[in-house]
Chain A
Amino acid sequence: GAVVSQHPSRVICKSGTSVKIECRSLDFQATTMFWYRQFPKQSLMLMATSNEGSKATYEQGVEKDKFLINHASLTLSTLTVTSAHPEDSSFYICSANPTLSGGGGGYTFGSGTRLTVV
């Protein structure tokens, strides 16, 4: 089945530094990638939608200058948390829909990245 590989799975960083999270579609072309954030014991909140070759669409309340999204190729989308602060600590998950490129099975998710800012 279609797989989205997300790295790193866990990262601890100091306040003020930046962290890059990568999501790769391994066996299909992901023209669109969705980025979610999940707080402890809560649901997934859509942060933004990235589209290959164009600017990402951010949800209301999400700071585009803080959460930089790049979707430079059909198999790679990255989320960079810039100048991270403790309140950015969360679980970040990416998702893509292989059916957009002819695949099946519906939406597939990365395994998530646990970010802890100290």
Chain B
Amino acid sequence: GNSVTQMEGPVTLSEEAFLTINCTYTATGYPSLFWYVQYPGEGLQLLLKATKADDKGSNKGFEATYRKETTSFHLEKGSVQVSDSAVYFCALSRNSGNTPLVFGKGTRLSVIA
């Protein structure tokens, strides 16, 4: 079946540090891949996505590249800010339209000044 594995947190970084959150997936066919962010007490917001191999999603300084050969979609940011503190979820969809997203367990990021 389809599944997503992401590194477990919590991750604590100092401001301006480099961030990597690993995400690998198992899926049949060619899924779309997503990163969502959840701020405390809120719902999920789409951070970025990629729909095919070698695509790079980017938003707000975050990037992730769809690597089919390693079945990975690692999230990176060159310089984190305190405001980036949140929980990050990697997810995939099977592109069949009416199927739900499959989520990883989430990684809590805390950035300290």
Contact = CB atoms under 8 A, between A and B. Distances in A.
Interface residues of A, number: 25
Nearest to A6: B43
A111 B42 contact: yes
Given A34-B100, A43-B106, 18 more contacts: A42-B105, A43-B89, A43-B105, A44-B103, A51-B98, A93-B44, A95-B44, A95-B100, A97-B97, A105-B46, A106-B46, A107-B34, A109-B43, A109-B44, A110-B43, A111-B42, A111-B43, A112-B43
A97 B106 contact: no
Interface of A: 6, 31-32, 34, 41-44, 46, 49, 51, 93, 95, 97, 99-100, 105-112, 114
Contacts, number: 51
- Chain B contact residues (Cβ within 8 angstroms of A): what range? 20 to 34
Contacts of B77: none
A50 to B, nearest CB: 11
A49 B102 CA distance: 13
A34 B104 CA distance: 17
Given A42-B105, A43-B103, A43-B106, A106 B32 contact: yes
Nearest to A113: B43
